[in-house]
Structure 1
Amino acid sequence: MDRLAKNLIFFFLLIQLFFGSFSVLGQTYPCYLYGSITTIDGDVYKGAIRWDDEEVFLTDVFNADKEENPYLKYLPESKIKNNEERYSRNRTWDRFEVTINDERRNLTNVYDRKFQCRFGDIKSISVTGSESVNLELKNGKYINLSSGSNDVGTKVWIIDQELGLLKIDWDRIDIVNFETTPTDHVETFGDPIYGKITTTKGEFTGFIQWDHDERLMGDKLDGRSRDGDVSISFDKIKKIEKTENGSLITLHSERQFELTGENDVNKYNRGIIVSIPNVGRVDFPWSHFLSLEILPLSKNTDCLSEFRVSQRLFGTLVTKEGKLYKGVIVYDLDEAMDSEILNGLNDKLEFAIPFRNIGSIKPMAYNYCLVELKNGMKLYLGDQTDVSNKNAGVIIFVNEDEYQNFKWEDIERIDFM
């Protein structure tokens, strides 16, 4: 941690890890998904879990749409109408988008919201339909969710302790129960990619999700060498360095290959995600990437302490007029738990920060704000709904029977406790 903190003005890290061929670990990294899947016929399978060929660790994020917004009833009709009119005026669509999305656009309004939380904060996911789930947080709170991403309606993989790997169809699943990761030897989907990434923003060491896809040491880096197509597993790679048209790959044997032609190794790379302890996820675009050195996995890795029982957001709101209100907070008229995630951009870097890591939020202008984390890190984030004037507003429940509504432009600062 000290080594990381030294290298950043921004942050330190530890990132999302992921998959490939499964292996038996002596529990070097204790934060993979583990639990049981019960089918509609009552069959139970237990072991390491993977969400199709993607999410496999506690730090991975589950995405879906909220089916309803229970906090609309706390807004006066006049404010709902004004917000919807403002949203309608400000909404612009990319002129290159295809018309297949038109129906969804017509259904979208200022109060539609995404749900995001890390798998480590989830107790269970019950399948309620082909595109819907009932998600239970560790505090026992249930949230009804629908589609919104490929996390809903997908296959769920499990390495059953006796049968081995099963890929269970969505319509066969009744409930997925997550359990504490075992401390003994368990068959998993493989070791995570761990290394030091050098960017235009500094150096960061942690778990890597390459091109939004490759997550495990057994995953393959694809490219084209001067002699033909190449697929190299990450466990053979020592270093990846960006070049003018592709990437220079150095193997542990010191052999080198310059690869081009595939999004794994050129400007079409979708980004490198890093998960930072007590911060969240940062997605670096290729334009900020310089190199990645793959390192042996740290034996002192601990992510379990990041996942405690979810709590209601609580804190103090100060208005531009200097008035102070203290109580339970509903942020952007939908985030109400500290396990939910705030999203924002800074110079094309995408941040996803659990609210439990945020100390304060201070609107600075119509399209950005200052976010100070509980570890002292300060970030200027903007453009997205959570951190700009697209924000639908904040409710403070001063007590059980009293609450106040605030618009983004009315807020001087929010301090979370």
Structure 2
Amino acid sequence: MIRSLTPLAALLISDALVLLGHGLLLTLLPMSAHQLGFSDFQVGLTGSSYFVGFVAGCLFTPLVLKRVGHIRTFAVLASGYTTFILFFVWSESFLGWMLLRFMIGAMVAGIYMIIESWLNERAASKNRGAILSFYAMMNLVMITLAQQLLNLGNVDTLLLFALAGIFLSLSVVPVSITLALAPTPIKKVSVDFAKVWKHSHIGIIGSIFTGLITGSFWALAPIYAKESAFTTFQLANFMSAVVIGGALFQIPLGRFSDKFDRRIILSFIAFAGAVVSFLTFIASFQPFYAGTVSTVLAFMWGGVGMTMYAICLAHANDNADSADFVDIGSAMLITYGLSSAIGAPIASAFMSILGHQFLFVFMGASFAIFCVILILRRKSHVLPVMAQDNEEFQAVAGLTTHEAYNLDPRSDDIDESATENELQREWADVDADYHDILDSDVDTPNTKR
């Protein structure tokens, strides 16, 4: 494992620094927007702008990479991200914040794409799974640590913004001085929603509901915690507990779904998500809520809310040909990002009209509706899903880019099976031509005789 990661050390250090800065901003920006006097709905719209920017970054970054390469593109994106962080400090305009959040969404999508394509290029068949697992684990650990950085300063001071900018600026250094060769240019994202819908209705539907739930959480949970009178320490623990819950439950639930029909596992996850969300809603009215109770409930919520997408992705690939794996992942990712952009303003409307506690009512209702759809869908499409029919579950490192699907060890099977099929077709053509020649020799009369 260590030997596999040593050549990637510079890239992984840059990734860790990016995640510390970006993870801090995921919580800091909604809180700062609220501090500036933005309404909950306006904060939700700025969150939507971020997710739209992320999708745009996934679509357009390959064009820049093709022109100037990985290292220069990384430096440009990280420097641009740092500049936008400073603009956040100076701007008090809602439209300005909308534009800035769109830009940082596009910047971080490009950075993720560079890191993941680089990892994919350097990974071999024997260590691809280990590298992807380590990458997913490191992402979750760094984002968890980033939440604790909130304890170093107040939201209304420059310190936390400066700290995020420092981490983003430092991330350029390891990548810039590495002696490793940059990877070849990556391909543009291929998106075919009709293909995913044909293979798995639950894949697309699950992406939509997961985006609605997690998009509203990341955009508005810091506001929810602040209006629940959390201290900065309690807020940091609340956000960290969600990430830790998702990290600890993703692999066990995923492995469990390998042994049974994934729709059953998703039904239980959605039901548990609805129960925990409504329990959180009820508990948030109690005076003892902030602190231990909120942290425990956040951990339980993260265990279901942050694991659902990966199992939906696994289910979609169970029903499809292996050659469609990356296309399916890309389409689900775009669906996930766009639905995240929709979820934030809808949830913020609940909070503005009914109260901040109703954030978890929106998310609980989304879980419940998805659970009902799963039950009805399985009743009308009862398929005997056996453990040996399932693709092996692979952890997903949160909202990522389509390049992470190329890094997945199952992509080796795609390449091998595609190559094997191609060779079989070529051999069949050669064999057919050979027999045609033999038949021609037998049937053609000998004119010399």
Q: State the TM bucket, normalised to the shorter chain.
A: under 0.3
Q: Which has the higher contact order (CA 8 A, sep 6+)?
A: 2
Task: Return the index of the structure with the highest Cα Rg.
Answer: 2
- Relative to its length, the structure with more helix (as a share) is 2
TM-score, normalized by length of structure 1?
Answer: 0.24
